[in-house]
Homo-oligomer: A and B are copies of this chain.
């Protein structure tokens, strides 16, 4: 049984994960030293080859799970990259996926075991192959989407202060936001709920903790920052 398309050639297909986190007021990217040839030792995104029994999305989820132990993470396809010689080893077409995770959910020992690190985007080194291009495209997409989709919450704990939320937006957009205008705006969004809890860590006075109500959002999925 040769199948329908036997006359055509097949190619390796991989998935690369562009994992963003937010820490210390900065947007961070998860990268590690490549542990295989070619390019062993170079900074690189974490990726894996697509298996015959999994879809692209499944491969992306599996790869992220292998790395972080996290499941049900927001992931979005960034695009397919298919230059002939993009990989110095053999021809590999890769599909990049962007993931947003809360750095606190990622166990730091597990992170060290995989030899990956959180690196600030403004000091991002040269990465393996065309990975820098993929990251730039992911950031562009992220910036565009962040004002029309409630994405920031994926980078924060379930409960967060408005100042934290504002810092996430500032980190993604790369510009400062007026505090009063920002809070005014947030108050009109009813699926961002103020809770009874108070955060006492970040300030002496204490700051109200807010929560993103997924259900309320899914009922009325409109968002505009």
Interface residues of A (CB under 8 A from B): 3-5, 8-13, 36-38, 49-57, 59, 77, 79-84, 89-93, 95
Nearest chain B CB to A38's CB is how many angstroms away?
Answer: 6
Given the complex of chains A and B, what is the CA–CA distance between A59 and B9 in angstroms? 13
Chain B residues closer than 8 Å to A79, beta-carbon distance: 77, 79-80
18 residue pairs from A and B, CB less than 8 Å apart: A4-B37, A5-B12, A5-B49, A5-B89, A5-B92, A8-B49, A9-B51, A10-B13, A11-B12, A11-B52, A13-B13, A13-B82, A50-B82, A50-B93, A52-B91, A56-B82, A79-B80, A80-B95
Q: How many copies does the complex hold?
A: 2
Chain B residues closer than 8 Å to A84, beta-carbon distance: 52-55
Given the complex of chains A and B, what is the CA–CA distance between A162 and B205 in angstroms? 59
Q: Are A11 and B10 in contact (CB under 8 A)?
A: yes
Q: Are B90 and A5 in contact (CB under 8 A)?
A: yes
Q: Are A93 and B56 in contact (CB under 8 A)?
A: yes
Q: Are B8 and A10 in contact (CB under 8 A)?
A: no
